[in-house]
Chain A
């Protein structure tokens, strides 16, 4: 094994492969910043170039660079314009965007960059140390456990329920779960709730819904509320804001450490991935935080930003475990990577590490380099990117609207998506005015489909609810989920009773 590693190291630090890492990271991070273009579409576009390189190691190093580069850059649009382009950066917007609105865009971007760097690097180290051993962990979860894990992911909504409007947050979650059932399900061979509209047959697309729930109402809100739109334009571009104080660094360090580990292990599971990792990271950190810090979550907490950012990048590294050691793609993106590898006559699987240690180790080693490159690339750019918010609102809002519409159109290449987007966006704006939190809806939607599919499979395999009792890990996860949901509500209730009369916030 040492010999293979050494060989991989030599391959990874060859000048050509360093160029590959750097260019992969640059392309990934730049395109990842645009909402609507997730890592999946960028990698698909990059594949012909990778294949023309011919050498599988270099090709995979380039594509992997694009992948984690895009995850790294993906936080930018979430933080700046509340437009998460991929599901794994939805949780980043929860606290990243409020920070940007407060005029701390630079700081938010810096924290996101550092959290991403640590998540990615720790993920790469774990990958190197344990990848061969972890292939069995990847197979530990059955549908029953995935179902329980999705329930646990849903407990992230507790973060929005704690501030008083428990009922509203729950209603929005249920609405999200309902929306996830539109279209064809894995359960039935028939479209459900489409109202006969052909466009609904494949369900709502994630990007459209994310834009409609987050970016569009935000832009409309700014137009409709001249007071806020007047003053918010300042501050964002101030460079001094990007510095993190020593105190803040100490606050987020344990969060990053925990979430890098947790995120990595969730990423290893082929049926979970970066999105679940980011929601769980957010939920867990909120529950571990002190009472004062908890009140900050959802309003611009640095912990709430660091948690999902380190978790999703670590999960991205983790997803290479089933890909490289079992040949199983856990997500759409890794599936495309697998396709690229097979075009280059490399079959990932248990034999890859033995037959072609060179490829196996050089990719993993290139991940450290890649994360370092990303950090060096992103940090100096942050002041300029943050300046974007200093653009006067009457220019910025059309710009946001343009990216919102484009993001939703690009994915499907279908003009009807635009109508759906505007319709949902208007509905979301009304809900926002009525003070309904929109994040729970999106969480419900993202997790709903996986929740239902895994539940249905478990029910079928065990002929009923037996799986809950027969599989100890399932019941364990469900108990944790219940605790995560009930505890904050209980604590919030007690706190409310204690200081009656204090404003309940929104």
Chain B
């Protein structure tokens, strides 16, 4: 799991554990109980999302009670296989997942894809950002590109995922959109966000590809400069950060997190889940959970969600083929 120990992942985890305390249900919720299946261990980004959503749903009285199960293994594949194999007895299960599901489905690490499940909704997301050290001479993406064009070998860009993983693909997407050869990018992988950040501050790498919410925290602490974000417009949380698009680099990327149910789930039950999640956005409980974790609401329900996943899959596939990972 590439998102395990980043700051935002951990803030999410912290919050996740906080909610085991809460959960006073009001009368007659629409859905009696939901069992959240988390394909990774306690404390990761998936864990935080599932527990956060579960907390908001129960506190708002939309769901009677929520239970959680961590089933790690095979990059999320174990939980997916289990849900598909035992589909008919698990219509009360919602499995959380995110962008790596698409990537791992493409490279064959996980055998099944979102097509083998019932897609419920994308719930939250995070944009990506490129950051540089505060005292770096690089002040914009243009500066980075100029340095890269002068000598690609001297511009090492790091990230908290394996080559071919999310941070690497984002870096390649940005460089490709700017007209550079994505294959020539010197991408240096770190296990997690912490060591990657240490490498940036120590000058081992010139720039770091990371999640926007994490980048904002670091920029506020005065440790980094954000030279570009993958959103289409500047974000209200940190309006100083320029988008890539306004710097002439036409690209966008969202790391989504959403929920899936067992294949063959009756349509009325799927609709009930989707309505419940849609209703959640209006509640105070959700706003509190969301703000605490620094998540961005990116709601994609049902067919929209499927279309979004298909689009992302096609983009990733083209890029991964070009990079030689497929």
Which residues of A pack against B, CB within 8 Å? Answer: 40-41, 44-45, 47-48, 51-52, 138-143, 184-191, 198-199, 201-202, 270-271, 322, 326-330, 332, 334-336, 338-340, 342-343, 347-351, 412-414, 416, 453, 457, 460-461, 463
Contact = CB atoms under 8 A, between A and B. Distances in A.
A143 B186 contact: no
30 contacts: A48-B17, A48-B21, A139-B203, A142-B199, A142-B204, A185-B162, A188-B163, A189-B164, A198-B77, A199-B74, A201-B73, A201-B74, A202-B72, A271-B195, A327-B218, A334-B194, A336-B10, A339-B7, A340-B10, A342-B7, A342-B217, A343-B11, A343-B18, A347-B221, A412-B72, A413-B69, A413-B70, A457-B188, A461-B156, A461-B204
B191 interface: yes
B270 to A, nearest CB: 28
Nearest to B194: A329
B197 interface: yes
A51 B204 CA distance: 35
A202 B162 contact: no
B198 A270 contact: yes
B186 to A, nearest CB: 7
Closest 3 CB pairs of A and B: A339-B10, A189-B164, A349-B221
Given A191-B109, A342-B10, A460-B156, 7 more contacts: A47-B18, A190-B109, A201-B74, A340-B14, A342-B217, A343-B11, A347-B217
Contacts of A332: 5
A457 B221 CA distance: 27
A314 to B, nearest CB: 20
A140 B199 CA distance: 10
A141 B195 CA distance: 11
B188 A342 contact: no
Contacts of A40: 43
Given A44-B43, A463-B153, A189 B162 contact: yes
Contact of A187 (B43, B77, B162, B201): B162
Interface of B: 5, 7, 9-15, 17-21, 41-43, 69-75, 77-78, 81, 107, 109, 153, 156, 162-165, 186, 188-192, 194-195, 197-199, 201-204, 217-218, 220-223, 292, 325
Given A189-B163, A201-B74, A271-B198, A339 B13 contact: yes
Given A350-B223, A412-B72, A44 B17 contact: yes
Contacts of B78: 198-199
A329 B9 CA distance: 13
Contact of A328 (B17, B197, B203): B197
A326 B164 contact: no
A64 to B, nearest CB: 15
B66 to A, nearest CB: 15
Contact of B14 (A47, A188, A413): A47
Given A188-B162, A190-B107, A453-B191, A199 B73 contact: yes
B67 to A, nearest CB: 14
B197 A143 contact: no
Contact of B223 (A140, A184, A198, A349): A349
B59 to A, nearest CB: 14
A322 to B, nearest CB: 7
A132 B310 CA distance: 49
B71 A414 contact: yes
A335 B192 contact: yes
